[in-house]
Copies of this chain bind each other. A is one copy, B any other.
Amino acid sequence: MPVTMNDVARVAGVSAMTVSNVLTGRRVVSDATRERVEAAAEQLGYALNLTARHLRAGRTNTIALVIPNLDHPYFGELAARFDRLLRSTGRHLVVEQTGSRREAELSALNVARLRLYDGVLLSVVGMRSEEIATLRSDMPVVILGEQDVSNRFDHVGMDNVGGARIATSHLLSRGSRRILILGGAPEGDDASGMSLARTNGWRQAHHDAGMTPEDDLIIPLEIPSAEHGHATILRLVRDGFAFDGVFTVTDTLATGVLAGLSESGRRVPEDVQVVGFDSLDGSRFTVPPLTTIDPGHEEMATEALRLLDRLIERDEGAPRERVKPPARLIRRGSTR
């Protein structure tokens, strides 16, 4: 059996209450008693039972981050960022992986309702907007990501349209004329909101320049993975498809594209310029280094926590907010 406060109290010849006071420092204890208690605790190898404290306190000082996968650098970096911020306020981050499965996303929310977490940062992928709107919101929840969310939730997103527009304008200004959007959404496709928005930005950039992009430049993908990027770009090159620029909807995708272009002898940026989206850490060291869009990671993280804390403090009066930091271009060697 584990050692409890009562055990320590007995050995120290005091009440459990006094032990608690020594440990938490919430009340003043005489030096003599303090020392006896500390000695007893040490001697018995006492360890606080956090589960009991949480039950008693009704809160756990733990925030859950619900994401699709940890083995995708995008989410790994996200988790690290939140961890840093929470740690600095003495709280814990717990990561739940959903594998993008609807049920897992729901169940993670549910676990939160089960009082294990004080709040949830939810990065939804498997659920559609309509479905999200039906979620119970009796827990502090902030939605992260590109979804168009019902106004029953706070939401921190990114400027997908603006970012894609900047990326594409950059390619145009550097002389690309046939710019693929890899992972884009053709008209009428039931692609993700992210894909749709970034395709719109790509289109807008062309309009800004007085151009109308050809629809065949929109290359949809099941999943924006490096594999798919790689395979797709190889196929296009082999088919003799004409293009001199690629805007990939994610950096991961760009990785595969750079690999594919290199294999097929296309030089970057001389023959083809490439721009990604996400500004992953690793994109600084691709060959060549990847020009990309920083959607404002740091601001998104701080804002998400601000909104979540507001809910945790039961500041119910405040209306739900939607935050969307400005995106900015990071210029590197994959463009001229």
Whether A258 is near chain B, meaning CB under 8 Å from some CB there, is yes
Contact of A73 among B110, B282, B287 (CB under 8 A): B282
- Known: A52-B55, A95-B79. Is A115-B70 also a contact (CB below 8 A)? no
5 contacts between A and B (CB under 8 A): A70-B95, A71-B76, A71-B77, A258-B287, A259-B285
Please name all residues of chain B whose beta carbon is closer than 8 Å to the beta carbon of A77 when the two chains form the complex.
Answer: 70-71
- Please state the number of chain copies in the assembly: 2
Please count how many residues in chain A sit with their CB below 8 Å of the partner chain's CB atoms. 54
Q: Determine how close the nearest CB of chain B comes to the CB of A106; give it in whole angstroms.
A: 13
Complex CA–CA separation, A226 to B289 (angstroms): 12
- Determine how close the nearest CB of chain B comes to the CB of A102; give it in whole angstroms: 15
Q: A115-B50, A115-B51, A282-B255 are in contact. Are A76 and B83 (CB under 8 A)?
A: no
Residues A71 and B60 in contact in the complex (CB < 8 Å), given A55-B55, A114-B48, A287-B258: no
- Contact present for A259 and B282 (CB under 8 Å): no
Interface centre among A73, A76, A83 (most CB of B within 10 A): A76
Chain A residues packing against B (C-beta within 8 Å): 2, 45, 47-52, 54-55, 60, 69-73, 75-77, 79-81, 83, 87, 92-97, 110-111, 113-116, 136, 138, 226, 230, 255-256, 258-259, 262-263, 281-282, 284-289
Contact of A71 among B48, B80, B110, B111 (CB under 8 A): B80
Q: From A77, which residue of chain B is reached at the shortest CB distance? A: B71
Interface of A (DSSP majority class): helix
* Cβ B55 vs Cβ A259 within 8 A: no
Beta-carbon contact of B54 and A51 below 8 Å:
yes
Kindly list the 3 A-B residue pairs having the minimum CB-CB distance in the complex, ordered from nearest. Answer: A76-B76, A71-B80, A287-B287
Whole-angstrom CA separation of A226 from B285 in the bound complex: 7
User: A259 is contacted by which of B72, B81, B226, B287 (Cβ under 8 Å)?
Assistant: B287
- Which chain B residue lies CB-closest to A259? B285
Nearest CB of B to A192, in Å:
21
Interchain CA distance A285-B234 in the complex, whole Å: 13
Known interface pairs A2-B115, A45-B138, A47-B113; A262-B282 also in contact (CB < 8 Å):
no
Let me know if A49 and B287 touch, CB within 8 A.
no
Q: Which residue in chain B gives the minimum CB-CB distance to A111? A: B50
Q: Given B113, B115, B286, which contacts A287 in the complex, CB threshold below 8 Å?
A: B286
By the criterion CB–CB under 8 Å, are A255 and B285 in contact?
yes
Name the distance in Å between A223's Cβ and chain B's nearest Cβ. 14
Write the nearest CB–CB distance from A313 to chain B, whole angstroms: 17
